[in-house]
A and B are shown apart, each in its own frame.
Chain A
Amino acid sequence: MEHIKKIEEMLMSSIFEVFEKMFFVFAEPLRGEAPLCPLKATIGFEGALKGGMRISLAPELARAMARNMLSLEEDEITEPIMADCVKESINMICGSFLRKVDPVHGSHMSIPTYEVVDGGMDRMVQGESSIRLAFATECGAFEIGFDTQADRLREAL
């Protein structure tokens, strides 16, 4: 499982970079599971690795991300702006992560999709080729899920 540890470190580095640089939000890894979070964005990728990545987060956190990134007043933050910020977060995390896995060859990334899941998103699973990372912030929790093909993961590393 050494390769999973390596991937986790790269993913964590990308998550911190994006949240701190673009959203001015500081995250701390959670040992247990994050509370079920209803806002979800997903992106697919294909290159050295093929798979998908998703983020689920609390509405309060999405609101804080929009407020911080765009310097908005509370009454200026709308649902579409929050959705846009959530999609952009997974887009940047995925891009930054793929650059770390393979800095030379390009990967194709899909356009991120967004949805609000009633009652919170299903728990993400962790396995040989999938990773789930949970974080706490001052404005609420979030989870990042990553799935790929195990053989390509070993080859890429």
Chain B
Amino acid sequence: MSFNVLIVDDSGSMRAVIKKVIAISGFKLDQCFEAGNGREALEQLKQNWVDVIVSDINMPEMNGLELLQVLKHDPLYQNIPAIIISTEGSSERMSEALEAGAKEFIKKPFLPEDIRRVLYNVIGVGSDGAYQEDRRDADELDF
């Protein structure tokens, strides 16, 4: 089983790093879509099927929290799991993100293992398509 991912960050370099980490984490990545802010993310969602969204918070035009609010109230998108990756990692900001619908929160700077662990938690499926509960050694995979 392969996945489509939407990466939302105003830094092209950060999008590239996240994409690379996901690719080498062993996930079967089908398509990776990119957006520079929340508004662009909504445009991508109109045109493409997405299994998981990975978004920054601090972006121009529409930030990550505003994006989460739109997704939460749209029946078409409210079931797409969203992961926040942000420098703004205070407990107040993390609570805001989780209340707005984020499934997980990763603080920048991050280690590749952080993204891999969170993706496993959110998607619940390993690189070979097996469900996570069947993968007792998932955390011991070579990175």
Q: Which residues of A contact B (CB under 8 A)?
A: 17-18, 21-22, 66, 69-71, 80-81, 84-85, 87-88, 91-92, 94-96, 98-99, 102-107, 109, 111
9 pairs, A vs B, C-beta closer than 8 Å: A22-B17, A69-B17, A70-B13, A84-B13, A92-B87, A94-B87, A96-B108, A98-B90, A109-B88
- Point out the residues of chain A lying under 8 angstroms from B109, CB to CB: 17-18, 21-22, 92, 96
Given A84-B11, A98-B88, A98-B90, 17 new contacts (CB under 8 A): A17-B109, A22-B109, A69-B17, A71-B20, A81-B13, A84-B12, A84-B13, A87-B11, A91-B58, A95-B88, A99-B89, A102-B90, A104-B91, A105-B90, A105-B92, A106-B90, A109-B87
- Point out the residues of chain A lying under 8 angstroms from B17, CB to CB: 22, 69-70
Which residues of B, 81-97, contact A by the 8 Å Cβ criterion? 86-93, 96
Pair A95/B89 contact, Cβ less than 8 Å: yes
Pair A88/B14 contact, Cβ less than 8 Å: yes
Residue in B closest to A99 when the chains form the complex, CB atoms: B89
Residue in B closest to A17 when the chains form the complex, CB atoms: B109
Question: Is B123 an interface residue, CB under 8 A from the partner?
Answer: no
Q: Which residues of B contact A (CB under 8 A)?
A: 10-14, 16-17, 20, 58-60, 86-93, 96, 107-111
Task: Write the nearest CB–CB distance from A66 to chain B, whole angstroms.
Answer: 7
Pair B13/A106 contact, Cβ less than 8 Å: no
- Point out the residues of chain A lying under 8 angstroms from B88, CB to CB: 95, 98, 106-107, 109
Residue in A closest to B114 when the chains form the complex, CB atoms: A21
The CA of A11 and the CA of B102, in the complex, are separated in Å by 29
Going nearest first, the 8 A-B pairs with the smallest beta carbon separation are A95-B87, A106-B93, A21-B109, A84-B13, A106-B92, A106-B90, A22-B109, A88-B11
- Point out the residues of chain A lying under 8 angstroms from B12, CB to CB: 80-81, 84
- Point out the residues of chain B lying under 8 angstroms from A98, CB to CB: 88, 90
Given A21-B111, A22-B109, A91-B58, A96-B13 contact (CB < 8 Å): no
- Point out the residues of chain B lying under 8 angstroms from A103, CB to CB: 90-91
Residue in A closest to B12 when the chains form the complex, CB atoms: A84
Q: Which of A18, A94, A109, A111 contacts B60 (CB 8 A)?
A: A111
Pair B13/A104 contact, Cβ less than 8 Å: no
The CA of A81 and the CA of B59, in the complex, are separated in Å by 18
